[in-house]
């Protein structure tokens, strides 16, 4: 497929800002990006899609209203597959109960584990697909989806089969991750870690059900040494690794992530300047999860200091039913502007280019030659207007590999 896209008032690549821009797409990838008036001769005969709409307000000559364009949003940390909800827990926390106390009493993650076990694969798929459609409407073109609410081997494999089906049927790209979340009730810690490393990880690697392994290394979850064992087992089977790090307590997980070459260390509410230096030196992405920090009333990660220390900072929704029932990447970016002190341009980079690096991809989250042609058309001449409008996200359309998402017919 060959196509030239025009009618762009403002384009963020995301690192460059172009006015009156255009780009050419072939076989799902960008092959040229630049000023509309500088379109090379070789592309001028290609079919064109004019992204401009018509408006009764201020418009370009001829009644055209040029629109803003940004790269497809990448969400590199979600728990999209789960049964039930935790509204009751949410209300308890609003009345002052802590996340840690609820978890220790058998609620929290364990509550979702029980609801997920009761749901069939078909039910879990339908629920997750509906959530993914909401993310698509927000411009999310690629997303990571974790297991972790199964805990037991077959239940984890059930979740991963649902995630694989999502990847086969959704318009978005889906990156499956096996998550070591917590030790199941009734299991000895040593036996569970041994099972996870010697049985579950090899089976997942053999079957191709996940690309990466994540570990929740924190108070009430896995210790630093247990985390190391699980991640080293993952690496030995050719899987990528990432960590839930420094969310509730400071455990040293961030430095472990840097040492082992993890794709990312996520959360970082309790991280320190020493942790940031380790991330910057290793190239491991530091992913902040604004929804969880705000909802659980934890310290907001110092995104500004991390960025200035050389960390490749990413933003993700951490969508889950307990600590971050967040559906909007734009709200996550807005919170990071206000509380994490990034600029609007930096926040966009964090949820596109840097988020893609947290998935191990350099060809996503960018509008440049060779990248996948995923982009969001903003219903405004200003590409960053969605970051200005809190609670009202002006999205005109979403394209994946150069095709309008609603026309892909996969949902």
Q: What's the 3-state SS for 174-186?
A: EEEEEEECCCCCC
Joined tokens for residue 299 = 């310290």
Residue 291: how many CA atoms within 13 Å on its side-chain side? 23
Nearest to 373 by CA among 72, 66, 54: 72
Q: Are 141 and 172 in contact (CB under 8 A)?
A: yes
Q: Are 116 and 157 in contact (CB under 8 A)?
A: no
Q: Is 354 annotated as a binding residue?
A: no
The long-range contacts involving 168-171, CB below 8 angstroms and separated by at least 24 positions, are 169/129, 169/410, 169/411, 170/129, 170/132, 170/136, 170/410, 170/411, 171/136, 171/141, 171/400, 171/405, 171/408, 171/410, 171/411
Q: Is 320 annotated as a binding residue?
A: yes
Q: Is 318 annotated as a binding residue?
A: yes
Residue 166: how many CA atoms within 13 Å on its side-chain side? 35
Q: Is 351 annotated as a binding residue?
A: no
Q: Is 75 annotated as a binding residue?
A: no
Q: Are 227 and 192 in contact (CB under 8 A)?
A: no
Q: How far is CA 147 from CA 35, 141, 248, 346, 362, in A?
A: 43, 20, 21, 30, 24
CA atoms of 170 and 47, how far apart (whole Å): 27
Q: Is 82 annotated as a binding residue?
A: no
CA atoms of 366 and 344, how far apart (whole Å): 16
Q: Is 181 annotated as a binding residue?
A: yes
CA atoms of 324 and 365, how far apart (whole Å): 23
3-class DSSP assignment, residue 169: helix
Q: Are 63 and 5 in contact (CB under 8 A)?
A: no
User: For 61, left (φ over 0), alpha (ψ -120 to 50), or beta?
Assistant: beta
Q: Are 35 and 22 in contact (CB under 8 A)?
A: yes
> Do the bridges between strand 173-180 and strand 140-146 make them parallel or antiparallel, or are there none, so unpaired?
parallel
Q: Which residues are annotated as a binding site?
A: 77, 79, 86, 149, 181, 244, 247, 318, 320, 322-323
Q: Which residues are annotated as a binding site for 4-imidazolone-5-propanoate?
A: 86, 149, 181, 247, 323
Q: Which residues are annotated as a binding site for Zn(2+)?
A: 77, 79, 244, 318
Q: Which residues are annotated as a binding site for Fe(3+)?
A: 77, 79, 244, 318
Q: Which residues are annotated as a binding site for N-formimidoyl-L-glutamate?
A: 149, 320, 322
């Amino acid at each position: 497929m060959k196509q030239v896209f025009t009618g762009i008032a403002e384009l963020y690549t995301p690192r460059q800002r172009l006015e009156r821009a255009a780009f050419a797409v072939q076989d799902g990838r960008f092959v040229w990006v630049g000023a509309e008036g500088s379109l090379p001769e070789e592309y001028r005969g290609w079919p064109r899609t004019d992204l401009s709409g018509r408006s009764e307000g201020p418009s370009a000559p001829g009644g055209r209203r040029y629109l803003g364009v940004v790269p497809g949003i990448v969400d590199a940390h979600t728990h999209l597959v789960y049964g039930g909800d935790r509204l009751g827990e949410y209300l308890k926390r609003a009345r002052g109960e802590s996340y840690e106390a609820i978890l220790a009493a058998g609620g929290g993650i364990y509550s979702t584990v029980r609801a997920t076990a009761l749901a069939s694969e078909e039910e879990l798929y339908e629920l997750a697909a509906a959530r993914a459609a909401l993310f698509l409407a927000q411009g999310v073109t690629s997303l990571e989806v974790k297991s972790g609410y199964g805990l037991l081997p077959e239940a984890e494999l059930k979740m991963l089969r649902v995630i694989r089906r999502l990847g086969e049927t959704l318009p978005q790209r889906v990156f499956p991750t096996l998550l070591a979340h917590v030790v199941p009730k009734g299991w000895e810690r040593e036996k569970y870690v041994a099972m996870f490393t010697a049985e579950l990880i090899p089976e997942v690697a053999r079957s191709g059900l996940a690309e990466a392994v994540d570990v929740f290394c924190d108070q009430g979850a896995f210790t630093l040494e247990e985390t190391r064992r699980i991640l080293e087992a993952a690496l030995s089977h050719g899987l990528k690794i990432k960590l839930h790090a420094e969310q509730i307590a400071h455990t040293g997980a961030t430095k472990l992530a840097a040492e082992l070459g993890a794709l990312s260390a996520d959360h970082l509410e309790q991280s320190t300047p020493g942790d940031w230096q380790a991330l910057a030196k290793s190239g491991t992405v530091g992913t902040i999860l604004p929804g969880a920090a705000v909802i659980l009333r934890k310290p907001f990660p110092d995104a500004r200091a991390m960025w200035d220390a050389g960390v490749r900072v990413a933003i993700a929704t951490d969508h889950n039913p307990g600590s971050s029932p967040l559906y909007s990447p734009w709200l996550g970016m807005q919170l990071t502007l206000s509380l994490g002190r990034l600029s609007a341009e930096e926040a966009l980079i964090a949820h596109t280019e840097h988020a893609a690096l947290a998935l191990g991809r350099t060809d996503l989250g960018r509008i440049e030659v060779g990248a996948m042609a995923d982009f969001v058309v903003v219903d405004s001449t200003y590409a960053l207007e969605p970051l200005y409008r809190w609670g009202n996200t002006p999205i005109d359309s979403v394209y994946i590999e150069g095709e309008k998402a609603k026309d892909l017919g996969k949902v």
